[in-house]
Amino acid sequence: MPGSPPQCCQTFYRCTRVEQRYCRECKVWRDVFCPDNIGALEKRENGFSENVKWAAASLLRRIASGPIARGALGADNDQLHELASSFFVTGTGWFVREAENMEAAGGCTDIELMSTLGADFCTFVQNTTWIAYICPVCDRTI
């Protein structure tokens, strides 16, 4: 919820200024640069986009295996940030879950995926290099 504190620190969530990742194991949003995480979240090598297999994966697989994130997504790239503006408040969770369900049902074409998830989100994922972070509590990639 906009303006509400994330569960990892006492600062307020401002979707235009911070990026957060959701840890499915801990069921907590973690601010990427939260001081309560003992500094910024630690990056995990060979996670998400750094993984060659992930980079070569289908768009459906990339979305289904990507992070649940919200906030200032693509903030360092005006074009990507504009694409993310329609979902940076609520985050990528619904998209990731929907892609997981589509994958479990046997997959789909990129056209079907774009029709279901929206072209802006799919284009954002195709042009985004996700950085993988480590949850400081459970060690899960987020």
> Please, which residues bridge with residue 60 across strands?
none
Non-local CB neighbours of 67 within 8 Å, separated by 6+ positions: 21, 22, 48, 92, 96, 130, 132, 133, 141, 142
Q: Which of 134, 115, 120, 122 is nearest to 61 (CA)?
A: 122
Q: What is the pLDDT of residues 95-126, one digit of tens each?
A: 999 999 999 999 999 899 999 999 989 988 88
Report, in this order, helix, strand and coil percent for the chain, each rounded to 5.
35, 10, 55
Tell me the average pLDDT across 37-43: 63
The overall pTM is greater than 0.85: no
Tokens of 51: 């993984």
Q: What is the pLDDT of residues 42-95, one digit of tens each?
A: 777 656 655 555 556 789 988 998 899 988 877 677 777 777 777 878 889 999
CA distance 77 to 94: 23
